[in-house]
């Protein structure tokens, strides 16, 4: 039994328990998205799985909201809460690589930068996010797209096992043989089922990639989007590329007189043989003259961190996402109308390709169900002044409303805002009933509800 005061909780945990009276509280309660300016009653800086068990027990017994924070990147800021308890895992960042079995075991506060640095030393990697500061935890549990997914599958497809603290404070290992229903639900079901304290991944060989951005005049974006929708169907799976709209940052590879202009962008990452990159990228380069390009050979962790400066912590964010099986002419028209109005340097729209290896997994094999989708679109506004809240969110909402009729009803849970809770069943479709049943088994009281929430099935 956990005690019933914060001091009892302090006695039971190795890590610090930070309350509003403590120095460092304002730092401890922060997550990436500054709109999530919440004031928890306590932030437990968990030092081990035992601290996680104590925190889960305390929150449940006290009837408090429990937020679980890995990398802290959640778009709605689910890694913090008002008046409740935060299980802050961000101090747990260890990664152990076993080159013999090509696996890695990572703690739940590790970022993709941590994981990639550790695995790259062995010439290995697994599918991770586009930027290095995102946490492995939330990204893996939601599915996981990134530069390597067309060839290696989603991040959750590379998850081999997970240690989990469930709502009743038990410590379980979930894999294909042990607690297999929990393991199924963790692969796409988000943070609904427990706190993962260790992730084990399958790794694959990746060393140098040929990667970077190409920037185009807006007038070429119609052709580029039409080219992209066809090209990506048959492009070699080692090629990940995504188009978007981007305000040109003040970087040396971009002509100075174009800094601040809104341009079209295509980011590429070729993880096949370096000498084949020019041939593979030629059709894209032939399509239109580039305003600027910074594509070249680099170690895989370098492309994973190349865009980090565009998305620093502490800015305000609002996100929406959807899946699409086709990029229709009408969808492209909507992108051409709204994309060029991208409001700030860090705001953007990307259309990620999720075909290839992710589609070779059956929709019912993991909780993540949109296996037939070819595209995952994300629209995000990022700004700093609270006075901009209404205008920035309006840009995302209007843009999303324009593409929604040409998209699937569901989207990727990790690209969803707080106001997308009504889409949770759409995100999981045929898998929702099983998820609700697994939720009832492992979290009947819905302790883990600060997420895209799956409600426990009725008894
Ligand atoms: C700048 C940026 C870039 C991104 N790029 C990509 C990308 O390339 N590909 C992609 O797929 N997604 C991407 N995302 C979305 C990302 O996958 C989600 O924001 C994800 O939830 C972040 O995980 P986190 O651990 O950093 O976040 P957190 O805010 O810590 O957690 C997110 C959710 O997971 C839960 N959670 C966290 N840790 C655990 C745990 N150990 N056990 C159980 N539940 C837990 C939390 O409670 C919360 O509900 C990006 C997000 C940002 C902000």
Residue 131 domain flag: yes
Q: How far apart are CA 80 and CA 69, in angstroms?
A: 7
Instruction: Looking at the structure, tell me whether residues 181 and 272 fall in a common domain.
Output: no
Quote the ligand 1 centre to 329 CA distance (angstroms). 32
Both tokens of residue 165?
């603290």
* Distance between CA atoms of residues 121 and 95, nearest Å: 12
Joined tokens for residue 311: 């998305």
Ligand 1 center to 10 CA (angstroms): 27
Please check the confidence at residue 1 and state whether its pLDDT lies above 50: no
Whether the per-residue pLDDT at 383 is higher than 50: the answer is yes
What is the total count of domains within the chain? 3
Q: Where is the domain boundary, 60, 88, 116? A: 88
Give 118-169 pLDDT, tens digit per residue: 999 999 999 999 999 999 999 999 999 999 999 999 999 999 999 999 999 9
- The protein residue whose alpha carbon is closest to atom 46 in ligand 1 is 68
Q: Which of 211, 412, 230 is nearest to 327 (CA)?
A: 230
pLDDT band at 351 (very low <50, low <70, confident <90, very high): very high
The Cβ of residue 26 has, within 10 Å, a number of other Cβ atoms equal to 12
- Tell me what the mean pLDDT of segment 73-85 comes to: 98
Together in a domain, 274 and 396: yes
- For ligand 1, atom 2, the nearest C-alpha belongs to 134
Whether residues 83 and 220 share a domain: the answer is no
Name the domain boundary from 88, 118, 136: 88
Portion of the chain with pLDDT greater than 70, in percent? 99
Residue 3 covered by a domain: no
Ligand 1 center to 141 CA (angstroms)? 8
From ligand 1's centre to the CA of 195, what distance in Å? 13
Per-residue pLDDT tens over the stretch 182-234: 999 999 999 999 999 999 999 999 999 999 999 999 999 999 999 999 999 99
Q: 141 and 214 in one domain?
A: no
Q: What pLDDT was estimated at residue 2?
A: 47
Which residues, including other chains, have CB under 8 Å from residue 237's CB and lie 6 or more apart? 150, 151, 356, 357
Judge if 20 and 134 occupy the same domain: no
- d(C-alpha 325, C-alpha 358), whole Å: 13
Beta strand pairing status for 348-353 and 124-125? Answer: unpaired
What is the DSSP secondary structure assignment for residue 248, as one 8-state letter?
Answer: P
CA of 322 to the centre of ligand 1 (A): 17
Residue with tokens 């941590």: 114
C-alpha–C-alpha distance, residues 112 and 130, integer Å:
9
For position 286, which CATH number holds? Answer: 3.40.462.20
**Which residue bears the tokens 């799956």?**
454
82: its two tokens? 């008002």
The answer as to whether 176 is a domain residue is yes
- Contact yes or no for 45/88 (Cβ under 8 A): yes
pLDDT band, residue 3 (cuts 50/70/90): low
CATH of the domain at 166: 3.30.465.10
Residue 277 token pair: 């990159």
Q: CA-to-CA distance for 137 and 89, rounded, in angstroms?
A: 10
Average the pLDDT over 23-34 and give the result: 97
Residues 219 and 339 in one domain: yes
**What is the percent of the chain with per-residue pLDDT over 90, rounded to a whole number?**
99
Compute the distance from residue 396 Cα to the ligand 1 centre, in Å: 20
Which tokens is 247 given?
A: 């305000």
Residues 70 and 116 in one domain: no
Choose which residue among 30, 32, 135, 244 to substitute to test ligand 1 binding: the one with the highest number of ligand atoms within 8 A of its C-beta. Answer: 135
The protein residue whose alpha carbon is closest to atom 1 in ligand 1 is: 311
What is the span of the domain harbouring residue 169?
95-205
The reply to whether 148 falls in a domain is yes
Average pLDDT, whole number, for the chain? 97
Structural contact between residues 354 and 142, judged by C-beta atoms closer than 8 angstroms: no
CATH number for the domain spanning 38: value is 3.30.43.10
Ligand 1 closest atom vs CA 69: 30
With cut-offs at 50, 70 and 90, classify the pLDDT of residue 4.
confident
Distance 5 CA to ligand 1 centre (A): 30
Nearest CA residue ID for atom 53, ligand 1: 73
Say whether both 154 and 267 belong to one domain: no
**Mutate-to-test residue for ligand 1 from 130, 312, 414, 448, highest number of ligand atoms within 8 A of CB:** 414
Residues at CB less than 6 angstroms from ligand 1: 31-32, 68-75, 78-79, 89, 108, 129-131, 134-135, 137-139, 141-142, 144-146, 190-191, 195-196, 311, 414, 450-451
Q: Residues 35, 383: contact at Cβ < 8 Å?
A: no
Listed in sequence order, the DSSP H helices in 339-454 are 389-403, 424-428, 432-442
Q: What pLDDT sits at residue 459?
A: 81
Which protein residue's CA is at the shortest distance from atom 7 of ligand 1?
A: 129
CA of 218 to the centre of ligand 1 (A): 31
**pLDDT band (50, 70, 90) for residue 298:** very high
Give yes or no: residues 279 and 218 share one domain: yes
Name the pairing type of β-strands 239-247 and 195-202. unpaired
């Amino acid at each position: 039994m956990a005690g019933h005061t914060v001091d009892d909780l302090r006695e039971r945990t190795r890590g610090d328990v930070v309350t509003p009276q403590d120095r460092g509280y304002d730092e401890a309660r922060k997550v990436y998205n500054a709109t999530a300016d919440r004031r928890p009653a306590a932030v437990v800086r968990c030092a081990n799985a035992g601290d996680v068990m104590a925190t889960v027990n305390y929150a449940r017994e006290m009837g408090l909201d429990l937020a679980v924070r890995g990398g802290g990147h959640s778009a709605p800021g689910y890694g913090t809460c008002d008046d409740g308890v935060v299980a802050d895992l961000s101090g747990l960042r260890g990664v152990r690589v076993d080159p013999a079995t090509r696996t890695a075991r990572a703690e739940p506060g590790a970022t993709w930068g941590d994981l990639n640095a550790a695995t790259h030393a062995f010439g290995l990697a697994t599918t991770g996010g586009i930027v290095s500061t995102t946490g492995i935890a939330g990204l893996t549990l939601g599915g996981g797209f990134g530069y390597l997914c067309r060839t290696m599958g989603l991040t959750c497809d590379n998850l081999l096992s997970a240690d989990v603290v469930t709502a009743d404070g038990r410590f379980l290992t979930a894999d294909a043989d042990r607690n297999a229903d929990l393991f199924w639900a963790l692969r796409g079901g988000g943070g609904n089922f427990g706190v993962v304290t260790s992730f084990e991944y399958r790794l694959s060989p990746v060393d140098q990639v040929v990667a970077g951005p190409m920037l185009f005049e807006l007038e070429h974006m119609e052709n580029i989007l039409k080219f992209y929708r066809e090209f990506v169907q048959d492009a070699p799976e080692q090629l990940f590329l995504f188009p978007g709209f981007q305000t040109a940052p003040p970087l040396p590879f971009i002509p100075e007189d174009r800094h601040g202009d809104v341009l079209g962008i295509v980011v590429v990452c070729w993880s096949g043989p370096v000498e084949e990159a020019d041939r593979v990228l030629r059709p894209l380069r032939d399509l239109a003259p580039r305003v600027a390009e910074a594509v070249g050979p680099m170690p895989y962790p370098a492309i994973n961190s190349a865009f980090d400066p565009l998305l620093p912590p502490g800015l305000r964010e609002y996100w929406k996402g959807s899946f699409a099986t086709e990029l229709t002419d009408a969808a492209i028209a909507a992108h051409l109308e709204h994309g060029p109005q991208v409001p700030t340097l860090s705001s953007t729209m990307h259309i990620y390709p999720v075909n290839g290896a992710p589609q070779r997994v059956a929709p019912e094999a993991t909780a993540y169900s949109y296996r037939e989708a070819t595209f995952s679109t994300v629209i995000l506004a990022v700004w700093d002044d609270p006075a901009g809240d209404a205008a920035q969110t309006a840009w995302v909402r209007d843009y999303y409303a324009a593409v929604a009729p040409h998209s699937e009803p569901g989207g990727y849970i990790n690209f969803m805002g707080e106001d997308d809770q009504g889409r949770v069943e759409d995100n999981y479709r045929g898998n929702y009933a099983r998820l609700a049943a697994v939720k009832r088994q492992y979290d009947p009281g819905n302790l883990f509800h600060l997420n895209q929430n799956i409600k426990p099935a009725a008894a």
